[in-house]
Amino acid sequence: MTARTHGVIVFGVEGHLIDVEVHVSAGMVGTTIVGLPDTAVAESRDRARAAVLNSGCAWPDAKITVGLSPASLHKRGPTLDLAIALAILAESGQVPAAAISSLVCVGELGLDGRVRPMTGTVVAALGAARAGMSTIVVPAENAPEAQLIPGLTVLGISSLAQLIAHVRGEPWPEPQPTAALPPICDSVAELVPQQRAARDLRDVRGQSVARHAVEVAAAGGHHLVMLGAPGVGKTLLAERLPDLLPDLDSEAALEVTAIHSVAGRLGAVGGLLCRPPFEAPHHTASYVAMVGGGGVSPRAGLVSLAHRGVLFLDEAPEFNARVLDSLRQPLESGVITIARAGYSVRFPARFQMVLASNPCPCGNASSDTAACRCTPLMRTRYLNKLSGPLMDRMDVKVVLDRPSRAELLSDEPEASVDVAARVQHARSAMGARLRATPWRINAEVPGEFVRREWPLPAASVDALAASLDAGMLSARGADRAVKVAWTLADLGDRPAPSAADVYAAVALRDGGGRWST
């Protein structure tokens, strides 16, 4: 006879259901785990033995074989401890085998029988739900995270003894299984109240063109690059961009929460992240930190942590060129694939990128009041660190000048809440147009789809052709300019881009004719 239960391993940002089978037979006393376990999984036999004995149960003095299926999948990490211990108890007749056959048990055991908190609970629960399971056992501290997945009954436990009592039907003073929360699509904003940052576009004075560029980028999800001297407001504008974005819908919120759960960034309480994330790494960030990867267990990089949000690279030319160029592929595809000798894993990485740069190493190349200490060659080399292929993927480019005293004193910029309302209105127009497609915002739509399904009016085509003939756009740039033009039309509540929208989109793309690398 063989006892069976289930566990989950988290690989990348996916949860894989594992069948845990145990057979106890006569032979040399010992425990063998088969099914491509790594060191952490192989050591489960020792953690499970100590936990079982310290929970008041007996460990079989026999030959114990633990099989983990599918055998072709590498098993990594200690999260199968609980399932292995429970299956051994069932095979030795100490708990009813029928009571554990439909359970999914996820958790690391301490030697004293405690169940330790883990990362990636949302991903593990999602993997169990997608495999058709209905009940999952997780550490008590992680139960709120698991409850975010609709259709699952969640049992949060603090010790192996508590789980044994539960499957035996014995009373236990700790809380019993709790029903899953309602579907998150009905209560996204209520699960984890999150206040917007106390930052406002009103803080940025004298930069009306740049504020408009940020609004266009927020509305269509377009990538943005800002060039200007130190102190003109580039960082202020980038930090306020996320506050203009609408809350994540239920699907996007679950994707973002799963990624941050695996990264261990949800905290002790957990909960659904309903605001777009904002990542602003230092320019010393490494290639692996940016795109993800690592050794035996690959981890999500900053591009994935910024999924459905904003990735801001301040002082962009100071980043390593290899790091910058690694962003080109996810900017197009929305995913990052990490391929190593022992594995290949895909991480979601559909983020909005914002770059900020000084015009030269000393920052004074565009200043009327401070002398630039850089030679023309130094300035060219500095900006050329932002490669042509990377810059061609940036939809909106804007040059920021130092505002005059009169502009600083007289400018009364709009509040973020007013701009966010226009962004939301434009997003609603996009949503209606994209309802039957897999895309959500203009920036995500492939150029060939735009050309085929949303042809420009004749006057707008002439405006685009004039820009192409003048050498202002590449083929990719033309497609991206058209998508920006659609965003301008959505902001203006127009059914299609006008010729003025196309000219404005081209001007936004080349910084009003002032951007040069």
Question: Measured between alpha carbons, how far is 443 from 334 in angstroms, rounded to an integer?
Answer: 11
Q: Which residues pair with 324 in a beta bridge?
A: none
pLDDT attached to residue 404: 79
Q: How far is CA 439 from CA 138, 285, 381, 429, 443, in A?
A: 34, 31, 38, 13, 9
3-state secondary structure 245-294: CCCCCHHHHHHHHHHHHHCCCCCCCCCCCCCCCEECCCCCCCHHHHHEEC
What is residue 440's three-state secondary structure? coil
Interatomic CA distance for residues 226 and 234, integer angstroms: 6
Token pair, residue 103, equals 């359970």
pLDDT the model gives residue 170: 87
* Cβ atoms < 10 Å from Cβ of 212: 17
Beta bridge partners of 278: 310
Look at 44-58, 286-300, 441-455 and tell me which has the smallest mean pLDDT. 286-300
CA gyration radius, the chain: 28
Considering only 24-38, 352-366, 396-410, which range has the smallest mean pLDDT? 396-410
Nearest to 11 by CA among 146, 126, 147: 126
Q: Quick one: pLDDT at residue 281?
A: 96
Task: pLDDT band for 409, please (50, 70, 90 cuts).
Answer: confident
For the chain, domain boundaries: 3-181, 201-351+387-436, 445-517
Position 194 pLDDT exceeds 50: no
| pLDDT level of residue 472 (50, 70, 90 thresholds) | confident
Question: Residues in the chain, how many?
Answer: 517
At 471 the pLDDT is 76
- The 10s digit of each residue's pLDDT in 87-145 is 999 999 999 999 999 999 999 999 999 999 999 999 999 999 999 999 999 999 999 88
What is the spatial distance between Cα 311 and Cα 185, in angstroms, rounded to a whole number? 26
pLDDT in tens, 217-238: 999 999 999 999 998 999 999 9
Residue range 201-351+387-436 in CATH 3.50.4.10? no
User: pLDDT grade, residue 412 (50/70/90)?
Assistant: confident
**What mean pLDDT, rounded, does the chain reach?**
88
* 121-130 vs 250-262: helix crossing angle, rounded to 10: 120
CATH code given to domain 3-181? 3.30.230.10
Q: How far is it, in rounded angstroms, from Cα 248 to Cα 258?
A: 14
pLDDT > 70? residue 180: no
Between 6 and 409, whose confidence is greater? 6
Mean pLDDT of 347-375: 89
Question: What pLDDT band is residue 516 in, cutting at 50, 70 and 90?
Answer: low
Residue 316 has pLDDT above 70, yes or no: yes
Which tokens hold the place of 46?
């020792």
For the question of whether the overall pTM of this predicted structure is more than 0.95, the answer is no
pLDDT above 80 for 270: no
Among the listed residues 55, 221, 257, 17, the one whose alpha carbon sits nearest the alpha carbon of residue 146: 257
By three-state DSSP, how is residue 352 classified? strand
